[in-house]
Amino acid sequence: MRLTCSIAVALVLLSGAARAEKDTLTIDLVADAATLDPQIQWDSESASVYRNIFDNLVTRDQSGKIVPQVATAWHYANDTTVVFDIRSDIKFQDGTKLTPDDVVFSVKRVTDPAFKSPQLSQFDQIVGAEVSGPSQVTLHTKTPYPVLLAQLTKLSVIPQATVQKLGDTAFNQHPLGSGPYKLRDWSRGVQITLDAQDGYWRGKPPFKTVIFRPVTDVSTRVADLRAGRADIVRGLGPDQAASLKTEKGLQLLGVPTERVAYIFINPQSGPTKDVRVRRAIAMAIDRDTIISALQQGYGKPVNEVLSPADFGYDPTIEPYPFDPDAARKLVKEAGAEGAELTFLTAPAYDRRLNEAVQQMLGDVGLKVSITMLDLPTYLKRRQGTPEEAGSISQGRWSCSCQDADGVIWPLFHTGSIWSKYSNPKFDAAVDSARATLDEKQRLADYHTAFEILREDVPAIGLFQDFAIYGARPQLKWTPTADEAFFVMDMHWQE
Amino acid sequence: MLRHLGSRLAQAAIASFGVLTIVFFVMRLSGDPTLLLVPEGASREQIAELRHELGFDRPLIVQYGAYLGDLLRLDLGESLVQRAPVATIVGHRIPYTLELAGGALIAALGIGLPAGVAMAVWRGGLIERGLAAIVLAGQSLPTFWSGILLILLFGVLLGWLPTSGADSLASLVMPSVALGALTMSTFARMTRIAVLDELQRDYVTAARARGLSLAATIARHVARNAAIPVVTVAALEIGNLLAGAVIVETVFAWPGIGQLAIQSIQARDFLVVQAIVLFVSLTYIGMNLLADLAYVAIDPRIRLAA
Amino acid sequence: MTGRLTAFTWVILGLLAAFAFMAIAAPLVAPYDPLRQSLLLRLRPPGTVTRAGSFLLGTDDLGRDLLSRIIFGARASFEVAMLSVSVSLVVGTALGLCAGWFRGWTAILIMRLVDTMLSIPAILLAVLTVAVLGPSFLNLILVLGLTRWPRYTRVAYASTLQVASLPYIRAAEMAGAGPARILGRHVLPNIAGPLMVVATTEFGLMILFEAGLSFLGLGIQPPTPSWGSIMSAGREYVARAWWMTVFPGLCLFVVVLCINLSGDWLRDRLDPRSRAR
């Protein structure tokens, strides 16, 4: 039996090697793309399709450094003005030239409130954009804005003439960009087919055709991979990864990302109003076991609510140790034994982590009841008043900008919808870090901010989350921390 | 007969309208999609602004009026999440839904009917019990489990059928069987009862006395009379086959309207949900009217006016 | 299946009784606390013996004893099925009786409502309702109960129409008995048979329906085990930990099968035509 198997495998390998080149790459998505107009939805499935159709103003290299793409160079004219030099040899897929006007149009369209872009808040620090030379664009920000370039890695450049000719609705159905792939067919819910663009300016795209198929159920995606129906599948959990590890003829691509898993602890309502209870929670949660058992090693411990892949991560912050005895003592001190905590959650969040945390807190004398809501209702309560928001909840946060500003500002700044916390000193620190371009100053500000968060514990960081992909072994690709999915960076090697 | 049909149609139209109205208000009670449409870091003002732009801060009754106005002009509107016409989004899924419903009906009838006849003919014996157990098995296993087992067996291990998707006739087989299994036992049991009822009637005894074989009797006389309850059940199940196939569609990645409905409910994409509800209730009503007509075709003794 | 209690029927009823006992006496029967996790003992195969205990059917994805969870799961699954069947039986029968007795506009109104309800797939209604109310045990019962009543209404309506024309009912009406009394005293006992048959089938279906909702994240909420929630958690591990789905799946299958078979038996017994044979 084993012999025939290995012969079969050898034959498959041989026939594979004989083939000159792989033409079609098939990708299993977690869900269908919601939109292919790159300026509407920013969910990871839509983005992983349309970002292959468009080029970005700037981009990140493998190490995460911001490097040129459509813009060849940039410099700050003053703290609120950045000047970009635009490449003049890029053509859209219909043959027209990409001009600085297209870049300005792209910025203005996504920042226009009337366009109702869900991405607006990522770009709304930009207050002006104009063509300032034959191949030059100038952007103005409200205040000095250190995260501008990180945000611009997500600015897809769209063709002004085509968008205006087609109109927004038609452009969403028939998007056209300057990227390595052009849309052949979008059969909603079934598959999206992209064709390689001849003469693409960054080189020949690695596959002639790329097919994206929405397969919601993770077990089915795994089956697709094992049966060879898909070449790469997105969105595997640690347990699926662990069960595929031993399987021959497959590879797992796991990468630590800028996403941080954390537990929110409500400091403004319920038993967790008492800082001793919050500290007890921090000491009751056994992060190492969560990482080794539940995450199967796909996670790295963090010292604060930030991923080490983000600017501002401070390794000198001391995390709370796992110490159930001390936690029990604190709970007793606070008179909170048997206090009931509401654990607000939604189906999108890992059920196993909820239940594990529930038991760990139960072990130190806190009674946790899990309240499952569907996602919109969950968001309404979590972002509502402190009384609505429950005592604890879990989250996996990424701002797709690899900067502390996009994480702890919205999570903990007074008045932000996610924040149930208010500390003027913390606000001052993160406000200061947001308004200067001086990196040293920013790091110092974030150090102060994280020290304050450590004292007040409005949340605790659990681990740096991993993105896990399953693929055929011939696919060569190094996924990056920003969870970008560029087919251009992949290739096939028999 | 036309009068009867007319009044049924009028009642049906009112029922559909009722369903639509209920769904409209229930959906809106459950919040709106604004929070799902903004990025994680959005501020309260940005959210309020988007909500205003989308029109969700208007009074419910105004929104309802606007919706009915659009509907009267046969305009189903545009999806907020997908920014595409609802008619395109739902319309694209309908062929797949019909394929799956048809496949499931064929699977359910193809196995259920012969099994039901056999159970009636060999009543009380081991054959009946064995068949009953097999037929019921389809109904006693959760689809989300049996579905993945089917995929692992026929898709991965044997490699006979595609593991997911909807691009060939072969990919229709597994979802059809999984969905059909749910109604198969209903058909088998209905058929068994109907055939049992008919078998003891005088005309069957007479036919048998004339020397007609059992098989011939069933084919010639019993089948026609037993068909009526079967048609009724088929018409009743149509709603579940169309949009109730949520789990089958999810497991097999079949692009039907059930999965779309659930996703749209979860995304609060109101207009898409409403369009699906409208489609399903109209189809259900249409199928039941057709079933009424089918009775006449099957058995001319039935008069609809009665 | 004949009306007599054959050995086969005894086996079925015995199995059902055993499961019912298991559900009722769960705390006495279960070897461990069904909620006690041990993250270091996740996904251990059946027959695992450790210092922390011996797990006859293995452990689940959080290291809980699967046997204990299945025993307690029987409880949750039966509770859901029993309560939701009761709700829909009461609501559906009451409406069916009214429609059958008063006829005319009442019947048209009620039977059109039945059509309306039947035209919307139960699962969509359930998802919609849960979206508004949030998933909880009570809401689950309400959702299941209030989407399934039309089936009983149809049966009750048809049977009431038949029974209402019987001479002794007419006599009771003539004697001045009010509708409530007649329906409750005379009509209901006469139509109880077919209703019980529907109820048995629905009982099995409700266990499955809860399982389906669990798959969509809307069923019995964790950490409370139900057969459906154990299986929907376990399906991710079909290849790696088959025991998480196979054992509860087997229980579910046996129970639903037994209930359906006893439903058939009940119908054959209650059906006057088949009794005559």
Over residues C56-104, the pLDDT tens digits come to 999 999 999 999 999 999 999 999 999 999 999 999 999 999 998 888 8
Residue B197 contacts C, CB cutoff 8 Å? yes
- Compute the distance between CA of residue B187 and CA of residue B184 in angstroms, rounded to an integer: 5
Tell me how many degrees the CA angle B95-B96-B101 measures, rounded to the nearest 5.
Answer: 100
The pLDDT of residue B40 is 67
The pLDDT of residue C222 is 76
The pLDDT of residue C264 is 74
Neighbours of chain C (3+ CB pairs under 8 A): A, B
For residue A114, the surrounding DSSP H or E stretch is none
Task: Identify which of C116, C132, C204 has the shortest CB distance to residue B19.
Answer: C116
CB-defined contacts B:C, below 8 A? 141
What residues of A are in contact with residue B155 (Cβ under 8 Å)? Answer: 223, 227, 229
- Compute the distance between CA of residue C157 and CA of residue C113 in angstroms, rounded to an integer: 13
The pLDDT of residue B138 is 78
Nearest chain B alpha carbon to A378? B35
Q: For residue range C164-209, what is the model confidence (pLDDT) as tens digits?
A: 888 888 888 888 888 888 888 888 888 888 888 889 888 988 998 8
Residue B163 contacts C, CB cutoff 8 Å? no
Buried-state track B93-107, b at ≥16 Cβ within 10 A, e below 16 = beebbebbbebbbeb
Task: Identify which of C37, C63, C222 has the shortest CB distance to residue A370.
Answer: C222
What residues of C are in contact with residue B141 (Cβ under 8 Å)? Answer: 249, 252-253
Single-letter code of the amino acid located at B144: F
For residue C5, name the pLDDT band (cuts at 50, 70, 90). Answer: low
Q: What is the mean pLDDT of each run of 10 residues along chain B (306 residues)?
A: 73 81 85 80 81 87 91 88 90 92 91 88 82 81 90 93 90 93 83 80 78 75 72 75 84 92 89 90 82 73 50
Task: Identify which of B14, B30, B266 has the shortest CB distance to residue C132.
Answer: B30
User: Over 70: is that where the pLDDT of C272 sits?
Assistant: no
The pLDDT of residue A16 is 43
Q: What one-character DSSP code corresponds to residue A193?
A: E
Q: Best interface-test mutation with A: which of C44, C60, C61 has the largest number of A CBs within 10 A?
A: C61
The pLDDT of residue A2 is 41
What residues of A are in contact with residue C134 (Cβ under 8 Å)? Answer: 371-374, 377
Find residues 128-147 of chain B whose CB sits inside 8 Å of chain C.
128-129, 132-133, 136-137, 139-145
The pLDDT of residue C193 is 82
**Alpha-carbon distance B23 to nearest alpha carbon in chain A (angstroms):** 17
What residues of A are in contact with residue B268 (Cβ under 8 Å)? Answer: 376
Nearest chain C alpha carbon to B248? C212
**Alpha-carbon distance B30 to nearest alpha carbon in chain C (angstroms):** 5
The pLDDT of residue A13 is 44
The verdict on a CB contact (< 8 Å) between A239 and C233 is no
The verdict on a CB contact (< 8 Å) between B142 and C249 is yes
CA gyration radius, chain B: 24
Residue A342 contacts C, CB cutoff 8 Å? no
**Backbone CA torsion sign across C164, C168, C174, C180:** negative
Residue B209 contacts C, CB cutoff 8 Å? no
The verdict on a CB contact (< 8 Å) between C240 and A243 is yes
**Alpha-carbon distance C51 to nearest alpha carbon in chain B (angstroms):** 33
Q: For residue range C210-258, what is the model confidence (pLDDT) as tens digits?
A: 888 888 888 888 788 999 999 989 988 988 899 999 999 999 989 988 8
- State the complex-level ipTM: 0.85
**Alpha-carbon distance C91 to nearest alpha carbon in chain A (angstroms):** 28
The pTM assigned to this predicted structure is 0.89
Find residues 208-237 of chain A whose CB sits inside 8 Å of chain C.
218-219, 237
Task: Kindly report each contact of residues A164-168 with a partner whose C-beta sits within 8 Å and lies 24 or more positions away, as own/partner.
Answer: A168/A37, A168/A115, A168/B83
What residues of A are in contact with residue B251 (Cβ under 8 Å)? Answer: 217, 219-220
Single-letter code of the amino acid located at C144: L
The verdict on a CB contact (< 8 Å) between C121 and B14 is no
Q: What one-character DSSP code corresponds to residue A321?
A: P
Nearest chain B alpha carbon to A414? B43
Residue B19 contacts C, CB cutoff 8 Å? yes
Q: Best interface-test mutation with B: which of A50, A397, A417 has the largest number of B CBs within 10 A?
A: A417
Q: Best interface-test mutation with A: which of B146, B164, B257 has the largest number of A CBs within 10 A?
A: B164
The verdict on a CB contact (< 8 Å) between C240 and A242 is yes
Tell me if residue B113 falls in helix, strand or coil: helix
**Alpha-carbon distance B1 to nearest alpha carbon in chain A (angstroms):** 43
- Compute the distance between CA of residue B249 and CA of residue B254 in angstroms, rounded to an integer: 5
Tokens standing for A443?
A: 């790091």
The pLDDT of residue C165 is 80
Nearest chain A alpha carbon to B36? A376
pLDDT under 50 in chain A at which residues? 1-19
Burial (CB count <10 Å: 0-12, 13-18, 19+), residue B160? exposed
What residues of B are in contact with residue C1 (Cβ under 8 Å)? Answer: 124, 128-129
The pLDDT of residue A108 is 96
User: Over 80: is that where the pLDDT of C33 sits?
Assistant: yes
Residue A223 CA: distances (Å) to CA of A315, B162, B164, B210: 40, 10, 8, 58
Residue A120 CA: distances (Å) to CA of A117, A125, C141: 5, 9, 42
- Compute the distance between CA of residue B298 and CA of residue B234 in angstroms, rounded to an integer: 15
Task: Identify which of A219, A355, A374 has the shortest CB distance to residue C130.
Answer: A374
Cβ(A182)–Cβ(A197) below 8 Å: yes
Cβ(B281)–Cβ(B238) below 8 Å: no
**Alpha-carbon distance C34 to nearest alpha carbon in chain A (angstroms):** 12
Cβ(C114)–Cβ(C150) below 8 Å: yes
- Compute the distance between CA of residue A331 and CA of residue A367 in angstroms, rounded to an integer: 11
Residue A345 contacts C, CB cutoff 8 Å? no
